[in-house]
Structure 1
Amino acid sequence: MQMMRVRFDGHGDELTAILPYADTLVGNPLIPALHGGAIGAFMEITASAALLAGTRLAALPKPIDVSVDYLRPARPQDVYARGIITRQGARVANVRVEAWQDRRAAPVAALHGHFLIKPEGEG
């Protein structure tokens, strides 16, 4: 997180992750577009943060399965993301994340992930 300088902005019950633009995040300077790996890692961080903010956990969530859809090139500017817990069981939680730049209605990528969780109070 520190290398990518991800930060979070909370308003009410919504947590928005922010990936500030940096030249080191550009994967293809000819387009130019941000690297897909940076976008994917950013969304995985956002998913974990959504779980930590929305659930009382005894340990960090562990990704079991993560799928990323790259919808359009991410331009060289800040990226924003929000994660929503779509289902939570006793040990596994499903999270959906959408990342966007100018407009939330026009996402650049989407993530769906399953995470192993350990709720507080479990040995």
Structure 2
Amino acid sequence: MTLPPYAEFLGLTVARDAGGATLITMPFAHAVTGRPGFLHGGAIGGLLEMAAVVALADALGIEFDATRIKPVNVTVDYMRGGREKETRAQGTVTRLGTRVANVEAHAWQDDAAKPIAAARMNYLLVR
């Protein structure tokens, strides 16, 4: 899947987990550092956004296309500081209508049951 340039800047990679769901991984790099020892919130938010759009593109059966998936709003909850290590995220489509989609995404580091951040996003679909 082709991701936007910001995803490339973050070093994001796309893979499938054992259940076939899409998993996005962001390696730790100096470019994603915020305060010393922690990830920048914008990098975490970008990871969550990419996890959401990849999950939505999968649900629609299309390649990611910014002209067809337009964000309406994004809410990110930061739960704990992201440390200097690999971070993973996964999106879940909670509603897929003809014009609007709702997607949730969670980011974690060591344990998926202990997310560092979560997001709820609404998208306008251009069909």
Same fold per TM (> 0.5)?
yes
| Contact 2:106/2:119 (<8 A) preserved | yes
For the pair shown, the structure with the greater C-alpha radius of gyration is 1
Corresponding residue SS for 1:68: strand
C-alpha distance in 1, partners of 2:95/2:59? 12
Partner of 1:112: 120
Q: 2:9 is aligned with what amino acid?
A: M
C-alpha distance in 2, partners of 1:89/1:115? 10
> How far did residue 101 of structure 1 move?
0.1
| Contact 2:38/2:83 (<8 A) preserved | yes
Higher helix residue share: 2
Q: Please tell me the root mean square deviation across aligned C-alpha atoms, in Å.
A: 1.4
Aligned pairs (5 A) from 1:7-26: 7-11=13-17, 12-26=19-33
Partner of 1:92: 100
Partner of 1:43: 48
> How far did residue 50 of structure 1 move?
0.5
Task: Specify every segment of 5 or more residues in structure 2 that has no aligned partner in the other structure, as ranges.
Answer: 1-6
- Counting aligned pairs with the same residue, the percent is 37
Higher strand residue share: 1
Deviations 1:98-122 (A, max 9, x none): 0000000000000000011124xxx
> How far did residue 57 of structure 1 move?
4.6
> How far did residue 54 of structure 1 move?
1.4
| Contact 1:57/1:118 (<8 A) preserved | no
TM-score (norm 1): 0.89
Mean CA deviation greater in 4-13 or 90-99: 4-13
C-alpha distance in 1, partners of 2:90/2:96? 17
C-alpha distance in 2, partners of 1:35/1:115? 24
Q: How many residues align?
A: 117
C-alpha distance in 2, partners of 1:57/1:34? 31
Question: Are 1:53 and 2:67 an aligned pair?
Answer: no
C-alpha distance in 2, partners of 1:108/1:90? 32
